[in-house]
Amino acid sequence: MAELIAINPKLHATLRIQPDKAELHGRGIQLLPVVPAEFASVATQSPIVLTKNGQTGQFVSVAMLGFAPGENLWFADERWQGAYLPLQLQRQPFFLGQSGDNGQGDYVLCLDPDSPAIMQQHSATTNTEQLFQADGSDSAYLQHIKGVLAELLQGEQQQQQLVQALLAANLIQPLSLEITFANQQSTRLNGLYTIDQQKLAALDPATLVQLHQAGWLAPIYTMIASAAQLYPLIARKNQQLSLAV
């Protein structure tokens, strides 16, 4: 990805975005970060697990989209195939940066200039969205994007709080999966974590009340229920393998 550039109404007055092309940012992502507010939607399609950030070592919640690095089984024919598009893909190609030399200033809306979703001019045959109105004010599309980014920012904070609650209650356990596909090809998935259901069931009432009052029981049980989506994901992989024969 190229260096991000800050959005400017004067410099980007004619810039247009193809929302459908924003989905292209997800085509090579196996584990996509998701936030608690979207767990219920994500869980209708994908298993939600935990993994560790390679740089910080901290746990992060992710949707499992494939069984190998770079594999996204929800992406085919240049389109996202799921009914729900996760927030991390909805906000593409926009990011939040921070002003100031130390990165501690106000948030600044930035753009990935290399995104395939960017068009420099309007096309009558392509569905595009403008960023600004004629008077320089934000378009409805840009207002929506800002709302998605704000939801992600808040969601990432909530995700960290959820992880801290899980660690405090000792509810995180390693998840090791060994899967054999229809062609007898097998794979083992390591480096993933999930909820320890036995420890959850054994929690004392006071801890359960604390988790409930903090709003964490719903996402915890949603993560557990989402494990059922592993089987449809395997079916997608088997279908892909059969088409490759």
Q: How much of the chain exceeds pLDDT 70, in percent?
A: 93
The DSSP call for residue 17 is E
Give the pLDDT band of residue 1 (cuts 50, 70, 90).
low
- Torsions phi, psi of 29, nearest 5? -110, 120
38-81 pLDDT per residue, tens: 999 999 999 999 999 988 999 999 999 999 999 999 998 888 99
Among the residue ranges 123-132, 159-168, 231-240, the one predicted with the least confidence is 123-132
The residue count of the chain comes to 245
Mean pLDDT taken over the chain = 91
Q: Where are the beta strands (DSSP E) in 77-202?
A: 79-80, 94-98, 107-111, 118-119, 129-130, 172-180, 186-195
The closest alpha carbon to 5, from 111, 117, 93, belongs to 111
* Separation between Cα atoms, residue 8 and residue 131, nearest integer Å: 10
Look at residue 101 in the predicted model and tell me its pLDDT.
Answer: 58
pLDDT at 170 over 70: yes
pLDDT at 82 over 70: yes
Give the pLDDT band of residue 219 (cuts 50, 70, 90).
very high
Look at residue 23 in the predicted model and tell me its pLDDT.
Answer: 86
Domain span at residue 96 reads 5-244
Give the pLDDT band of residue 244 (cuts 50, 70, 90).
confident
Number of structural domains found in the chain = 1
pLDDT at 102 over 80: no
Give the pLDDT band of residue 123 (cuts 50, 70, 90).
low
